Structure 1
Amino acid sequence: MAGPAALLVSVSHQLGGLRTLRLLQGAGRRGHEDAARGPPHRSHHPSQTQTSGAGGSRHGPGEAFGPGRTRGLEAERKAPGGSPKGEAASGEPAPRDPGGAGPEPAAQPGPASPGTLREAALRSKLARVAGAAARLVEAERTLLLPLLQERPFPVHLKDSIEFRNICSHMALQKEGQQFERDLYEAHQCLKIIIEKLICSLAVFPSESYIPVRSALRQILQNLLAM
Protein backbone atom coordinates (compact mmCIF):
# COMPACT_ATOMS: atom_id res chain seq x y z
CA MET A 1 0.00 0.00 0.00
CA ALA A 2 1.09 3.57 -0.63
CA GLY A 3 0.03 7.06 0.35
CA PRO A 4 -1.40 8.73 3.46
CA ALA A 5 -4.15 6.14 3.92
CA ALA A 6 -1.59 3.34 4.16
CA LEU A 7 0.44 5.30 6.70
CA LEU A 8 -2.63 5.94 8.85
CA VAL A 9 -3.46 2.23 8.86
CA SER A 10 0.13 1.43 9.80
CA VAL A 11 0.05 3.99 12.60
CA SER A 12 -3.19 2.51 13.94
CA HIS A 13 -1.49 -0.90 14.33
CA GLN A 14 1.48 0.72 16.04
CA LEU A 15 -0.88 2.51 18.42
CA GLY A 16 -2.49 -0.82 19.30
CA GLY A 17 0.91 -2.19 20.29
CA LEU A 18 1.78 1.00 22.16
CA ARG A 19 -1.41 0.86 24.24
CA THR A 20 -0.56 -2.72 25.23
CA LEU A 21 2.96 -1.70 26.26
CA ARG A 22 1.58 1.09 28.43
CA LEU A 23 -0.85 -1.29 30.10
CA LEU A 24 2.06 -3.61 30.86
CA GLN A 25 3.99 -0.68 32.30
CA GLY A 26 1.10 0.20 34.60
CA ALA A 27 0.64 -3.39 35.76
CA GLY A 28 4.35 -3.78 36.47
CA ARG A 29 4.48 -0.52 38.42
CA ARG A 30 1.53 -1.48 40.62
CA GLY A 31 3.02 -4.90 41.31
CA HIS A 32 6.34 -3.33 42.30
CA GLU A 33 4.65 -0.87 44.66
CA ASP A 34 2.59 -3.63 46.28
CA ALA A 35 5.72 -5.71 46.83
CA ALA A 36 7.53 -2.72 48.35
CA ARG A 37 4.69 -2.01 50.79
CA GLY A 38 4.52 -5.61 52.01
CA PRO A 39 1.65 -7.13 54.00
CA PRO A 40 -0.66 -4.71 55.86
CA HIS A 41 0.28 -4.00 59.48
CA ARG A 42 -2.29 -4.86 62.11
CA SER A 43 -2.40 -2.63 65.16
CA HIS A 44 -3.21 -4.23 68.49
CA HIS A 45 -5.74 -2.46 70.71
CA PRO A 46 -6.41 -3.43 74.32
CA SER A 47 -9.77 -5.10 74.72
CA GLN A 48 -12.46 -3.60 76.84
CA THR A 49 -12.32 -6.55 79.21
CA GLN A 50 -8.72 -5.63 80.17
CA THR A 51 -9.64 -2.12 81.27
CA SER A 52 -13.08 -2.59 82.77
CA GLY A 53 -12.13 -4.41 85.99
CA ALA A 54 -11.33 -7.83 87.39
CA GLY A 55 -13.08 -10.82 85.93
CA GLY A 56 -14.03 -8.93 82.74
CA SER A 57 -16.95 -7.14 84.48
CA ARG A 58 -18.14 -3.79 83.13
CA HIS A 59 -19.57 -2.69 86.54
CA GLY A 60 -17.88 -0.37 89.03
CA PRO A 61 -16.35 -1.61 92.30
CA GLY A 62 -19.51 -0.97 94.29
CA GLU A 63 -21.69 -2.84 91.82
CA ALA A 64 -19.34 -5.78 91.54
CA PHE A 65 -18.86 -6.49 95.25
CA GLY A 66 -21.73 -4.75 97.02
CA PRO A 67 -21.63 -1.89 99.54
CA GLY A 68 -20.27 -3.98 102.41
CA ARG A 69 -17.37 -5.31 100.45
CA THR A 70 -16.51 -1.84 99.16
CA ARG A 71 -16.32 -0.41 102.72
CA GLY A 72 -14.07 -3.31 103.69
CA LEU A 73 -11.69 -2.57 100.86
CA GLU A 74 -11.51 1.07 101.82
CA ALA A 75 -10.66 0.10 105.38
CA GLU A 76 -7.87 -2.16 104.17
CA ARG A 77 -6.38 0.66 102.11
CA LYS A 78 -6.40 3.07 105.10
CA ALA A 79 -5.04 0.55 107.61
CA PRO A 80 -1.21 0.49 108.10
CA GLY A 81 0.37 -2.38 106.20
CA GLY A 82 -2.92 -3.03 104.39
CA SER A 83 -3.09 -5.53 101.60
CA PRO A 84 -2.77 -4.14 98.01
CA LYS A 85 -5.56 -6.40 96.86
CA GLY A 86 -7.90 -3.44 96.46
CA GLU A 87 -5.73 -2.08 93.65
CA ALA A 88 -6.07 -5.28 91.67
CA ALA A 89 -9.82 -5.44 92.30
CA SER A 90 -10.34 -1.80 91.34
CA GLY A 91 -9.28 -2.50 87.79
CA GLU A 92 -6.09 -0.35 87.81
CA PRO A 93 -3.41 -1.75 85.50
CA ALA A 94 -0.53 -3.53 87.14
CA PRO A 95 2.92 -1.94 86.85
CA ARG A 96 5.00 -3.07 83.91
CA ASP A 97 7.71 -5.62 84.37
CA PRO A 98 10.97 -3.70 83.86
CA GLY A 99 12.55 -6.85 82.47
CA GLY A 100 9.77 -7.47 79.93
CA ALA A 101 10.45 -7.54 76.23
CA GLY A 102 9.67 -4.35 74.29
CA PRO A 103 8.15 -4.11 70.81
CA GLU A 104 9.94 -6.05 68.12
CA PRO A 105 12.16 -3.86 65.89
CA ALA A 106 10.98 -3.28 62.34
CA ALA A 107 12.54 -5.55 59.77
CA GLN A 108 15.23 -3.83 57.69
CA PRO A 109 15.19 -4.33 53.91
CA GLY A 110 17.91 -6.63 52.70
CA PRO A 111 20.03 -6.32 49.57
CA ALA A 112 18.28 -6.53 46.21
CA SER A 113 18.05 -10.09 44.93
CA PRO A 114 19.13 -11.06 41.39
CA GLY A 115 15.46 -11.50 40.50
CA THR A 116 14.70 -7.93 41.58
CA LEU A 117 17.57 -6.55 39.47
CA ARG A 118 16.43 -8.57 36.49
CA GLU A 119 12.87 -7.28 36.85
CA ALA A 120 14.16 -3.70 37.07
CA ALA A 121 16.14 -4.18 33.84
CA LEU A 122 13.04 -5.55 32.10
CA ARG A 123 10.92 -2.61 33.29
CA SER A 124 13.56 -0.20 31.98
CA LYS A 125 13.67 -1.89 28.57
CA LEU A 126 9.89 -2.00 28.38
CA ALA A 127 9.73 1.73 29.11
CA ARG A 128 12.28 2.51 26.41
CA VAL A 129 10.50 0.42 23.77
CA ALA A 130 7.20 2.12 24.66
CA GLY A 131 8.87 5.53 24.51
CA ALA A 132 10.38 4.80 21.08
CA ALA A 133 7.01 3.62 19.76
CA ALA A 134 5.32 6.80 21.02
CA ARG A 135 7.96 9.04 19.40
CA LEU A 136 7.70 7.10 16.13
CA VAL A 137 3.92 7.55 15.97
CA GLU A 138 4.31 11.27 16.67
CA ALA A 139 6.93 11.68 13.92
CA GLU A 140 4.78 9.78 11.42
CA ARG A 141 1.73 11.91 12.17
CA THR A 142 3.35 15.33 12.25
CA LEU A 143 6.30 15.02 9.84
CA LEU A 144 5.85 12.05 7.53
CA LEU A 145 2.13 12.34 6.75
CA PRO A 146 2.42 15.81 5.12
CA LEU A 147 5.20 14.48 2.86
CA LEU A 148 3.12 11.51 1.79
CA GLN A 149 0.36 13.85 0.68
CA GLU A 150 2.83 15.36 -1.80
CA ARG A 151 4.56 12.20 -2.98
CA PRO A 152 3.26 8.77 -1.89
CA PHE A 153 5.66 5.89 -1.27
CA PRO A 154 5.07 2.27 -0.21
CA VAL A 155 4.33 1.67 3.48
CA HIS A 156 5.07 -1.80 4.90
CA LEU A 157 1.96 -2.69 6.87
CA LYS A 158 3.22 -6.18 7.71
CA ASP A 159 5.82 -4.88 10.15
CA SER A 160 3.33 -2.70 12.04
CA ILE A 161 0.86 -5.58 12.27
CA GLU A 162 3.64 -7.83 13.55
CA PHE A 163 4.58 -5.25 16.19
CA ARG A 164 0.98 -5.09 17.44
CA ASN A 165 0.72 -8.90 17.54
CA ILE A 166 3.98 -9.29 19.45
CA CYS A 167 2.84 -6.79 22.07
CA SER A 168 -0.49 -8.60 22.43
CA HIS A 169 1.31 -11.92 22.93
CA MET A 170 3.60 -10.29 25.47
CA ALA A 171 0.59 -9.20 27.52
CA LEU A 172 -0.45 -12.85 27.87
CA GLN A 173 2.95 -13.83 29.29
CA LYS A 174 3.59 -10.96 31.76
CA GLU A 175 6.76 -12.62 33.07
CA GLY A 176 9.31 -15.35 32.37
CA GLN A 177 11.61 -16.09 29.48
CA GLN A 178 8.85 -15.89 26.87
CA PHE A 179 8.07 -12.33 28.02
CA GLU A 180 11.73 -11.41 27.54
CA ARG A 181 11.77 -12.94 24.06
CA ASP A 182 8.61 -11.08 23.09
CA LEU A 183 10.07 -7.81 24.38
CA TYR A 184 13.20 -8.41 22.30
CA GLU A 185 11.09 -9.17 19.23
CA ALA A 186 9.05 -6.00 19.73
CA HIS A 187 12.30 -4.04 19.97
CA GLN A 188 13.60 -5.59 16.74
CA CYS A 189 10.30 -5.08 14.90
CA LEU A 190 10.24 -1.40 15.85
CA LYS A 191 13.82 -1.07 14.61
CA ILE A 192 12.88 -2.60 11.23
CA ILE A 193 9.89 -0.23 10.84
CA ILE A 194 12.10 2.83 11.39
CA GLU A 195 14.87 1.60 9.08
CA LYS A 196 12.41 0.94 6.24
CA LEU A 197 10.85 4.38 6.66
CA ILE A 198 14.28 6.01 6.43
CA CYS A 199 15.05 4.09 3.24
CA SER A 200 11.68 5.02 1.71
CA LEU A 201 12.36 8.71 2.25
CA ALA A 202 15.06 8.60 -0.43
CA VAL A 203 12.40 9.41 -3.07
CA PHE A 204 12.02 12.92 -1.65
CA PRO A 205 14.31 15.89 -2.36
CA SER A 206 16.87 16.36 0.37
CA GLU A 207 15.34 19.60 1.69
CA SER A 208 11.94 17.96 2.16
CA TYR A 209 12.83 14.90 4.18
CA ILE A 210 15.73 16.19 6.29
CA PRO A 211 13.55 16.98 9.37
CA VAL A 212 11.67 13.67 9.36
CA ARG A 213 14.82 11.68 8.56
CA SER A 214 16.64 13.38 11.41
CA ALA A 215 13.77 12.60 13.81
CA LEU A 216 13.63 8.95 12.72
CA ARG A 217 17.40 8.53 13.03
CA GLN A 218 17.31 9.94 16.55
CA ILE A 219 14.56 7.48 17.56
CA LEU A 220 16.55 4.63 16.00
CA GLN A 221 19.74 5.69 17.76
CA ASN A 222 18.00 5.70 21.14
CA LEU A 223 16.47 2.30 20.40
CA LEU A 224 19.81 0.75 19.42
CA ALA A 225 21.41 2.08 22.62
CA MET A 226 19.25 -0.27 24.72
Structure 2
Amino acid sequence: MAGPAALLESLEHQVGALHTLRLVCRGREAATASHLPLSPPQPSLPQTSSAGSPGPAQYSPGGEMEVARLGQALELKEERKALGKTPEEDEESGDLTPLSPGEPRPHRLSQHGLVRNETLREMALRSKLSRVVDATSRLIEVEQTLLLPLIQQHPFPLHPKDSIEFRNICSRMALQREGQQFEKDLHEAHQCLKTIIEKLIWSLAVFPSEPYIPVRSALRQILQNLLAM
Protein backbone atom coordinates (compact mmCIF):
# COMPACT_ATOMS: atom_id res chain seq x y z
CA MET A 1 0.00 0.00 0.00
CA ALA A 2 1.18 3.51 -0.81
CA GLY A 3 0.48 6.62 1.17
CA PRO A 4 0.55 10.37 0.48
CA ALA A 5 4.28 10.33 -0.36
CA ALA A 6 3.72 8.15 -3.46
CA LEU A 7 0.82 10.32 -4.63
CA LEU A 8 2.85 13.49 -4.12
CA GLU A 9 5.68 11.98 -6.15
CA SER A 10 3.27 11.14 -8.96
CA LEU A 11 1.82 14.63 -8.82
CA GLU A 12 5.26 16.19 -9.09
CA HIS A 13 5.99 14.34 -12.33
CA GLN A 14 2.52 15.02 -13.73
CA VAL A 15 2.84 18.74 -13.05
CA GLY A 16 6.20 18.73 -14.84
CA ALA A 17 4.63 16.90 -17.79
CA LEU A 18 1.75 19.38 -17.93
CA HIS A 19 4.16 22.32 -18.00
CA THR A 20 6.04 20.72 -20.90
CA LEU A 21 2.82 19.95 -22.78
CA ARG A 22 1.69 23.56 -22.54
CA LEU A 23 5.04 24.73 -23.91
CA VAL A 24 4.64 22.30 -26.80
CA CYS A 25 1.14 23.66 -27.52
CA ARG A 26 2.34 27.25 -27.54
CA GLY A 27 5.26 26.36 -29.78
CA ARG A 28 3.05 24.59 -32.32
CA GLU A 29 0.50 27.42 -32.29
CA ALA A 30 3.24 29.97 -32.94
CA ALA A 31 4.68 27.86 -35.77
CA THR A 32 1.23 27.46 -37.34
CA ALA A 33 0.50 31.18 -37.11
CA SER A 34 3.80 32.07 -38.77
CA HIS A 35 2.92 29.90 -41.81
CA LEU A 36 -0.65 31.07 -42.36
CA PRO A 37 -1.17 31.72 -46.08
CA LEU A 38 -1.78 35.33 -47.02
CA SER A 39 -4.32 36.30 -49.66
CA PRO A 40 -2.34 36.80 -52.87
CA PRO A 41 -2.63 40.25 -54.45
CA GLN A 42 -4.96 40.37 -57.40
CA PRO A 43 -2.99 40.95 -60.62
CA SER A 44 -3.99 44.04 -62.53
CA LEU A 45 -3.65 44.32 -66.28
CA PRO A 46 -2.76 47.68 -67.83
CA GLN A 47 -5.65 49.20 -69.74
CA THR A 48 -4.82 51.82 -72.31
CA SER A 49 -6.79 53.38 -75.10
CA SER A 50 -5.58 53.73 -78.63
CA ALA A 51 -4.49 57.27 -77.77
CA GLY A 52 -2.16 56.01 -75.07
CA SER A 53 -4.25 57.29 -72.15
CA PRO A 54 -5.97 55.00 -69.60
CA GLY A 55 -9.25 53.67 -70.89
CA PRO A 56 -11.20 50.49 -71.67
CA ALA A 57 -9.05 47.67 -72.98
CA GLN A 58 -9.65 46.46 -76.49
CA TYR A 59 -8.53 42.92 -77.27
CA SER A 60 -8.43 41.05 -80.48
CA PRO A 61 -9.17 37.28 -80.41
CA GLY A 62 -5.41 36.73 -80.20
CA GLY A 63 -5.18 39.21 -77.34
CA GLU A 64 -7.91 37.39 -75.41
CA MET A 65 -5.96 34.14 -75.77
CA GLU A 66 -2.85 35.89 -74.48
CA VAL A 67 -4.75 37.18 -71.46
CA ALA A 68 -6.03 33.65 -70.75
CA ARG A 69 -2.48 32.31 -70.89
CA LEU A 70 -1.28 35.07 -68.58
CA GLY A 71 -4.05 34.19 -66.11
CA GLN A 72 -2.98 30.53 -66.21
CA ALA A 73 0.64 31.52 -65.61
CA LEU A 74 -0.31 33.64 -62.59
CA GLU A 75 -2.51 30.86 -61.25
CA LEU A 76 0.30 28.34 -61.66
CA LYS A 77 2.71 30.66 -59.88
CA GLU A 78 0.40 31.10 -56.88
CA GLU A 79 -0.30 27.36 -56.64
CA ARG A 80 3.42 26.63 -56.81
CA LYS A 81 3.96 29.04 -53.90
CA ALA A 82 1.20 27.37 -51.87
CA LEU A 83 2.70 23.92 -52.48
CA GLY A 84 6.25 25.09 -51.81
CA LYS A 85 7.44 23.88 -55.21
CA THR A 86 10.16 25.37 -57.35
CA PRO A 87 9.84 25.75 -61.13
CA GLU A 88 12.42 22.99 -61.53
CA GLU A 89 10.29 20.60 -59.47
CA ASP A 90 7.24 21.49 -61.56
CA GLU A 91 9.20 20.83 -64.71
CA GLU A 92 10.33 17.42 -63.43
CA SER A 93 6.74 16.50 -62.55
CA GLY A 94 5.45 17.70 -65.92
CA ASP A 95 3.31 20.46 -64.38
CA LEU A 96 4.48 23.07 -66.87
CA THR A 97 2.77 21.43 -69.83
CA PRO A 98 0.83 24.17 -71.62
CA LEU A 99 -2.93 23.74 -71.39
CA SER A 100 -5.74 25.30 -73.33
CA PRO A 101 -8.17 27.59 -71.44
CA GLY A 102 -10.51 25.61 -69.19
CA GLU A 103 -8.53 22.37 -69.44
CA PRO A 104 -8.27 20.66 -65.99
CA ARG A 105 -4.95 19.99 -64.30
CA PRO A 106 -5.31 16.54 -62.67
CA HIS A 107 -1.75 16.57 -61.34
CA ARG A 108 -2.25 19.80 -59.49
CA LEU A 109 -5.67 18.73 -58.30
CA SER A 110 -4.07 15.67 -56.75
CA GLN A 111 -1.50 17.93 -55.10
CA HIS A 112 -4.30 20.01 -53.62
CA GLY A 113 -5.83 16.81 -52.28
CA LEU A 114 -2.53 16.03 -50.58
CA VAL A 115 -2.52 19.45 -48.93
CA ARG A 116 -6.03 18.87 -47.61
CA ASN A 117 -5.05 15.47 -46.19
CA GLU A 118 -2.07 16.99 -44.40
CA THR A 119 -4.27 19.69 -42.94
CA LEU A 120 -6.71 17.11 -41.63
CA ARG A 121 -3.85 15.17 -40.05
CA GLU A 122 -2.61 18.31 -38.34
CA MET A 123 -6.11 19.01 -37.06
CA ALA A 124 -6.30 15.48 -35.63
CA LEU A 125 -2.92 15.90 -33.92
CA ARG A 126 -3.95 19.24 -32.46
CA SER A 127 -7.18 17.71 -31.12
CA LYS A 128 -5.33 14.77 -29.58
CA LEU A 129 -2.72 17.02 -27.99
CA SER A 130 -5.46 19.24 -26.59
CA ARG A 131 -7.22 16.24 -25.01
CA VAL A 132 -3.98 15.07 -23.40
CA VAL A 133 -3.32 18.53 -21.95
CA ASP A 134 -6.88 18.88 -20.64
CA ALA A 135 -6.92 15.36 -19.15
CA THR A 136 -3.57 15.91 -17.41
CA SER A 137 -4.75 19.20 -15.92
CA ARG A 138 -8.01 17.71 -14.67
CA LEU A 139 -6.27 14.62 -13.31
CA ILE A 140 -3.90 16.77 -11.25
CA GLU A 141 -6.84 18.76 -9.91
CA VAL A 142 -8.74 15.62 -8.86
CA GLU A 143 -5.68 14.10 -7.22
CA GLN A 144 -4.92 17.28 -5.27
CA THR A 145 -8.44 18.14 -4.14
CA LEU A 146 -10.18 14.76 -3.81
CA LEU A 147 -7.66 11.94 -3.75
CA LEU A 148 -4.95 13.31 -1.48
CA PRO A 149 -7.26 13.76 1.56
CA LEU A 150 -8.61 10.22 1.09
CA ILE A 151 -5.26 8.48 0.71
CA GLN A 152 -4.12 9.97 4.00
CA GLN A 153 -6.88 7.96 5.68
CA HIS A 154 -6.87 4.83 3.51
CA PRO A 155 -3.63 4.10 1.60
CA PHE A 156 -4.04 2.16 -1.66
CA PRO A 157 -1.74 1.00 -4.50
CA LEU A 158 -0.16 3.70 -6.66
CA HIS A 159 2.28 3.52 -9.57
CA PRO A 160 4.59 6.58 -9.64
CA LYS A 161 6.74 4.96 -12.34
CA ASP A 162 3.91 5.53 -14.84
CA SER A 163 3.96 9.25 -14.08
CA ILE A 164 7.74 9.29 -14.49
CA GLU A 165 7.41 7.65 -17.90
CA PHE A 166 4.68 10.12 -18.84
CA ARG A 167 6.92 13.05 -18.03
CA ASN A 168 9.81 11.53 -20.01
CA ILE A 169 7.60 11.08 -23.08
CA CYS A 170 6.41 14.68 -22.88
CA SER A 171 10.03 15.84 -22.67
CA ARG A 172 10.79 13.95 -25.90
CA MET A 173 7.79 15.59 -27.56
CA ALA A 174 9.17 19.01 -26.69
CA LEU A 175 12.31 18.19 -28.68
CA GLN A 176 10.35 17.12 -31.78
CA ARG A 177 7.19 19.25 -32.08
CA GLU A 178 6.49 17.85 -35.56
CA GLY A 179 7.08 14.87 -37.83
CA GLN A 180 6.52 11.15 -37.41
CA GLN A 181 8.50 10.96 -34.16
CA PHE A 182 6.28 13.64 -32.63
CA GLU A 183 3.17 11.71 -33.65
CA LYS A 184 4.62 8.54 -32.13
CA ASP A 185 5.48 10.31 -28.86
CA LEU A 186 2.05 11.91 -28.69
CA HIS A 187 0.43 8.50 -29.12
CA GLU A 188 2.63 7.06 -26.35
CA ALA A 189 1.82 9.99 -24.05
CA HIS A 190 -1.89 9.46 -24.71
CA GLN A 191 -1.63 5.75 -23.90
CA CYS A 192 0.51 6.33 -20.80
CA LEU A 193 -1.94 8.88 -19.39
CA LYS A 194 -4.78 6.47 -20.13
CA THR A 195 -2.92 3.78 -18.15
CA ILE A 196 -2.39 6.12 -15.18
CA ILE A 197 -6.08 6.96 -14.97
CA GLU A 198 -7.21 3.37 -15.43
CA LYS A 199 -4.89 2.11 -12.67
CA LEU A 200 -6.24 4.75 -10.30
CA ILE A 201 -9.81 3.64 -11.04
CA TRP A 202 -8.86 0.00 -10.48
CA SER A 203 -7.12 0.84 -7.19
CA LEU A 204 -10.16 2.75 -5.94
CA ALA A 205 -12.48 -0.10 -6.86
CA VAL A 206 -11.58 -1.88 -3.59
CA PHE A 207 -13.10 1.02 -1.63
CA PRO A 208 -16.86 0.91 -2.13
CA SER A 209 -17.46 3.53 0.55
CA GLU A 210 -19.32 6.71 -0.35
CA PRO A 211 -16.35 9.17 -0.12
CA TYR A 212 -14.64 7.40 -3.05
CA ILE A 213 -17.63 7.59 -5.41
CA PRO A 214 -16.99 11.22 -6.51
CA VAL A 215 -13.32 10.41 -7.17
CA ARG A 216 -14.11 7.38 -9.32
CA SER A 217 -16.78 9.33 -11.18
CA ALA A 218 -14.41 12.21 -11.89
CA LEU A 219 -11.67 9.85 -13.10
CA ARG A 220 -14.07 8.02 -15.42
CA GLN A 221 -15.16 11.35 -16.92
CA ILE A 222 -11.54 12.36 -17.52
CA LEU A 223 -10.85 9.02 -19.19
CA GLN A 224 -13.95 9.35 -21.38
CA ASN A 225 -12.90 12.81 -22.55
CA LEU A 226 -9.36 11.60 -23.22
CA LEU A 227 -10.60 8.77 -25.43
CA ALA A 228 -13.20 10.90 -27.25
CA MET A 229 -12.74 10.97 -31.03
Give the TM-score category using the shorter length: 0.5 to 0.7
Query: Which aligned runs of 4 or more in structure 1 are off by greater than 4 angstroms?
Result: 107-112
1:86-124 per-position Cα deviation (integer Å, ceiling 9, x unaligned): xxxxxxxxx953368xxx99x799885322221111111
Percent of residue pairs bearing the same amino acid type: 64
The letter for the 2-side match of 1:147 is: L
Q: What is the Cα deviation at residue 146 of structure 1?
A: 0.8
Q: Distance in 1 between matches of 2:31 and 2:38?
A: 11
Structure 2 equivalent of residue 12 of structure 1 = 12
The aligned residue for residue 133 of structure 1 is: 136
Deviations 1:9-51 (A, max 9, x none): 1011011111111111111111111211549x9xxxxxxxxxx
- Output the TM-score relative to the length of structure 2: 0.66
In structure 2, C-alpha distance between the alignment counterparts of 1:175 and 1:166, rounded to whole Å: 14
Q: Does 1:162 align with 2:119?
A: no
The one-letter amino acid of 1:4's match is P
The aligned runs of 1:103-118 (5 Å cut-off) are 113-118=116-121
Question: How is 1:65-214 mapped onto 2 (pairs within 5 angstroms)?
Answer: 97-98=54-55, 113-214=116-217
Counterpart code for 1:13: H
1:47-66 equivalences in 2 (<5 Å): none
* Structure 2 counterpart of 1:36: 36
> Residue type of the partner of 2:23?
L
TM-superposed deviation, 1:196: 0.7
| CA deviation map 1:149-171 (0-9, x unaligned) | 11112220110000000010111
C-alpha separation between the residues in 2 aligned to 1:224 and 1:129? Answer: 9
Question: Cα distance 1:96–1:130, how it changes in 2: closer, same or farther (>3 A)?
Answer: farther
Structure 1 letter corresponding to 2:119: T
Larger Rg: 1
Distance of 2:144 and 2:6 partners within structure 1:
12
Task: Work out the CA distance in 2 between the residues paired with 1:195 and 1:156.
Answer: 11
Amino acid at match of 2:156: F
Cα distance in 2 for partners of 1:115, 1:97 equals: 46
Aligned residues: 170
Letter in 1 for 2:211: S
Aligned partners of 1:116, 1:96: CA distance in 2, in Å? 48
Aligned residue number for residue 90 of structure 2? none
SS at match of 2:152: helix
SS at match of 2:36: helix
Q: Whole-Å Cα distance in 2 between the matches of residues 5 and 96 of structure 1?
A: 86
Query: Structure 2 CA distance, aligned partners of 1:96 and 1:201?
Result: 86
Report the residue type matching 1:132 in the other structure.
A
| 2:93 paired residue number | none
- Select the residue among 216, 219, 227 that pairs with 1:216: 219
CA distance in 1, matches of 2:31, 2:37: 10
**Counterpart Cα distance in 1 of 2:227 and 2:128:** 11
What secondary structure is seen at the aligned counterpart in 2 of 1:36?
coil
Would you say 1:225 and 2:182 are equivalent positions?
A: no
1:193-224 CA deviation, whole Å, 9 max, x = no partner? 01111111134342120000000011111112
Tell me which moved more, 195-204 or 128-137. Answer: 195-204
